[in-house]
Amino acid sequence: MLLLKDIQKSFIEPDGKTLPILGIEEFCVARGEQMVLVGRSGSGKTTLLHVIAGISRPDQGVVEIAGRDITQLSEAGRDRFRAEKIGYVFQTFNLLPAFSALENVLLGMTFTRKAANVARARELLDRVGLGQRLTHRPAALSVGEQQRVAVARALANKPQILLADEPTANIDTGNQQQIVDLIRETCREEEVALVMVTHTPEVCSQFDRVDELAEINRVAKRAK
Amino acid sequence: MLTGLSIALGTALVVIVLVVYGVVAESFRDAAQGYHLILGAKGGKLQLTLNTVFHLSQPIENIPYSFYKEFTEYKDADGRPTRGKYASAVEVAVPYCLGDSYQEFRVVGTTPDLFNKLSYGTFPDGTPKFYEFSAGKNFTADDFRGAVIGAVAAKKTGLQVGDHFPITHGLAEDEDAHVHEEDAFHVVGILRPTGTPNDRAVFVNMEGFYLIADHAKPVEAEDDEAEGPQATQIVQLREAKDSLQQLLERDTLSAEASTEIERIDGLLRTILGKLSPSKAEVKKSQSAGKSPDDVAGSADGGTTGGIAPLPENQREVTSVLLLLKNDVFSQILHNKINEGSVAQAVYPSREVAKLFEGIVGHVQTILLILAILVVVVAGVGVMVSMYNSMSDRSREIGIMRALGAARVTVMSIVLFEAILLAVLGGVAGVCLGHGTIGAFAPVITANTGVMINFWEWAPAIYLGGWSVSPELVLIPSLLLLAVVVGFLPAVVAYRTDVSRALSHSP
């Protein structure tokens, strides 16, 4: 389902020096598989998610999702691929404050070639327990509810893979488990592969596969 | 919001300038239509047009009544129907006697033909607009003290049909102006609003106007019936006689000269003797209440309630409106009259066009430039405001990009926002402009006579063979402005780095 091969990614620092971030020989996630990626701050977790999502292009290597090497696509092609095949849940939810819960989910459907499916947006919000709060704006929702909206938005286009970047980091302990359960359950129901980045040991302990980024990323390994 | 409001205000200003200028221009053009030429004393063409058509500025000198008659059909001294020298080319000749006022409004001594036979302007389908009365009717030729009041003048003076009013000899601003309390006129009709300067004037029967004290032209005692070529002959003969007499007194001429003087005297007596009707006859007819044309056999005559008309040799007119039988005559008559020494002829429409191009047009251009500058400044305000907001909105842009929005999509969204702001601001501005015009319309109409209302669109201009209202060009222009001012913020949105934008804390 997801295959990363010979990935190299570096940034140019303000002084002109090259700063290597990723050096991954191979990284695979199977269809419907749920796994956790752990690593210390600055080890390149978010950069890796950006490379998988096609937000950043690796300096070299292959990023294959559902049999398609997205590094070969143009930027616009990667944007469309991301809209249709990849779901993304952010640590800070990233909901648009001027939009209601329903509109935020519909926004996730706007950038595909298909027309926005209001019924699916309602169904997803209902599934995450916000069926009664469709018209509420983010400011009127609790942080837990905001992350639920973000999860619903990420799944709106029936993606093949869901990337969750520390989705419980800004949520109180009581709500953390609910969010994790919600993400895992909905991914299971929709047969979506899940790559979740987290620092929380309680969350890690629930997954069968937990990868230490430092083990797969040569750059992080050297720094370690 | 504020930037949208500034666009709305700028657009409203443009609309107001376009509509008000357009309506005023149309009103000016209408005022100068309905006749071909204005005849008046030699002098400034614009001044003649201004005081005849627009009731502004000081009237130029007068022209002889006999010259006016050359454009009419009348009865001669023997009562025979006579055609003036130019009458065959003329459909209607309407004389104007100016120089008096009532309150702030100019008084025009004229004939009923002004409202019966002349039109003002045209409807969009080309049919002429004729004068109508909101109350009463036009004055008749034999009602010497009859008056018709323009719509604005009636409203402001409060004059109604049946009211009597005295007129002031001279204009309101003249120092030596004085009121003729004894020669009051009575209102027989109130004009419907025409949107022309005639709304702001008072029209009285020319016969009554002549009879007001000080309005008669002073004449020498012996030749007061003579006019035209006869008057000139008399003057020349008198001068010759005086000159010979002086030479005789200095003994530089022989006695034969005295015989010559006697011969000139004889000639003078013969000429004066030929003048008809005789002084005695005129006096007799005046006591019977008949006009000079009656005496001369004119068809214009009628009962005048015992008031005797002023003899023709004491009459003058300030100007004459000439409606000709066809357009070709206007050029011929224009040249012919201007070649002579008595009067000048002007094309009022040309003078109005020159006035607009020369003065009013520049004022409109300046106002329009200022109004457009306001819109452009508002547009720049939109650009600055949007550009500044881009750093705040980079996270939103990053979110959209992360959800799959292409660079072009976010760029289009920002451009669309600028366009929406401009179009909504523009539409609001058009409504605001028309609303302002609508709100002030009654005041404008009451004070200036210019008819304007909420739905008044700026008169059409020609663009590539199409006739369109400049207001309709406004919205596409605003669209263009929006694209220009939205381009820079849109480029910023286009170039937003998603990773960096998402890494910013909310």
Chain A: nearest CA to B411, how far in angstroms?
A: 13
CB contact under 8 A, A56 and B407: no
Owner of token pair 């298909």 = A114
How far is C-alpha B345 from the geometric centre of its chain's CA atoms? 16
pTM above 0.80, yes or no: no
Owner of token pair 């457009």 = B372
Residue B317 to residues A152, B40, B52, B94, B450: CA-CA distances in angstroms? 92, 8, 11, 10, 28
pLDDT at site B255: 63
pLDDT at site B251: 63
Q: Give me the CATH code for the A33-54+73-211 domain, please.
A: 3.40.50.300
**Cβ–Cβ contact A135 with B under 8 A:** no
Q: Is the pLDDT of residue A165 over 80?
A: yes
**Cβ–Cβ contact A78 with B under 8 A:** no
**Cβ–Cβ contact A82 with B under 8 A:** yes
Task: Give the H or E element holding residue A20.
Answer: strand A18-29
Chain A: nearest CA to B417, how far in angstroms?
A: 15
3-state SS class at B289 = coil
CB contact under 8 A, B404 and A90: no
**Cβ–Cβ contact A158 with B under 8 A:** no
Of B401, B404, B506, the CB nearest to A112: B404
Of A46, A56, A111, the CB nearest to B404: A111
pLDDT at site B455: 75
Residue A80: closest CA among chain B residues belongs to which residue?
A: B404
**Cβ–Cβ contact A77 with B under 8 A:** no
Residues B96, B111: Cα–Cα separation, whole Å? 8
pLDDT at site B286: 43
Residues B116, B139: Cα–Cα separation, whole Å? 10
ipTM of the complex: 0.90
Contact residues for A9 (Cβ-Cβ < 8 A; gap 6+): A20, A21, A22, A44, A47, A51, A56, A58, A59
Q: What is the DSSP string of B134-191?
A: EEE-PPPTT-TTEEEE-HHHHHHH---TT-EE--EES-TT-TT-EE-TTS-EEEEEEE
Interface of B with A (CB under 8 A): 395-396, 398-409, 498-499, 502-503, 505-506
Cβ-based contacts of B402 with chain A (< 8 Å): 53, 55, 82, 88, 90, 94
* A98-154 residue pLDDT tens: 999 999 999 989 898 888 889 999 999 998 889 999 999 999 999 889 999 999 999
CB contact under 8 A, A111 and B505: no
Residue B461 to residues B18, B348, B383: CA-CA distances in angstroms? 11, 22, 31
pLDDT at site B297: 32
Residue B432 to residues B95, B101, B381, B421: CA-CA distances in angstroms? 45, 39, 20, 16
Residue ranges in chain B whose pLDDT is less than 50: 221-223, 276-303
Residue B398: closest CA among chain A residues belongs to which residue?
A: A94
Kindly report whether the peptide bond that precedes residue B277 is cis, defined as omega within 30 degrees of 0: yes
Cβ-based contacts of B395 with chain A (< 8 Å): 94
Residue from A74, A111, A155 to probe the interface with B (highest B Cβ count within 10 Å): A111
CB contact under 8 A, A94 and B502: yes
CB contact under 8 A, A94 and B505: no
DSSP label of B318: S
Residue B501: closest CA among chain A residues belongs to which residue?
A: A94
Q: Is the pLDDT of residue A3 over 90?
A: yes
CB contact under 8 A, B405 and A96: no
Chain A: nearest CA to B492, how far in angstroms?
A: 17
Q: Hey, which residues does A196 pair with through a beta bridge?
A: A36, A164
CB contact under 8 A, A107 and B499: no
CB contact under 8 A, A83 and B401: no
Contact between residue B334 and residue B28 where contact means Cβ atoms under 8 Å apart: no
Cβ-based contacts of B396 with chain A (< 8 Å): 96
**Cβ–Cβ contact A147 with B under 8 A:** no
Segments making up each domain of chain A, as ranges: 33-54+73-211
Contact residues for B212 (Cβ-Cβ < 8 A; gap 6+): B100, B167, B169, B180, B183
CB contact under 8 A, A55 and B498: yes
Q: What angle do CA A198, A201, A202 make, to 5 degrees?
A: 105
**Cβ–Cβ contact A94 with B under 8 A:** yes
CB contact under 8 A, B409 and A111: yes
Chain A: nearest CA to B480, how far in angstroms?
A: 27
Cβ-based contacts of B505 with chain A (< 8 Å): 92
Residue from A56, A78, A79, A106 to probe the interface with B (highest B Cβ count within 10 Å): A79
Read off the pLDDT of each residue in A182-210 and give the average, rounded to a whole number. Answer: 91
Residue A52: closest CA among chain B residues belongs to which residue?
A: B402
* B360-380 residue pLDDT tens: 777 777 877 887 888 888 888
Cβ-based contacts of B404 with chain A (< 8 Å): 79-80, 82-84, 111-112
Q: Is the pLDDT of residue A36 over 90?
A: yes
**Cβ–Cβ contact A110 with B under 8 A:** yes
Cβ-based contacts of B502 with chain A (< 8 Å): 55, 90, 94
CB contact under 8 A, B403 and A96: no
**Cβ–Cβ contact A153 with B under 8 A:** yes
9-68 in chain A: CB under 8 A from chain B: 46-47, 50, 53, 55-56
Of B396, B499, B505, the CB nearest to A96: B396
Residues A137, A156: Cα–Cα separation, whole Å? 18
Q: Any alpha helices (H) in chain A, and if so which ranges?
A: 45-53, 75-85, 101-110, 118-127, 143-154, 173-190, 201-204, 213-216, 218-223
Burial group, residue A32, by CB count within 10 angstroms (0-12, 13-18, 19+): middle
pLDDT at site B283: 42
DSSP label of B200: G
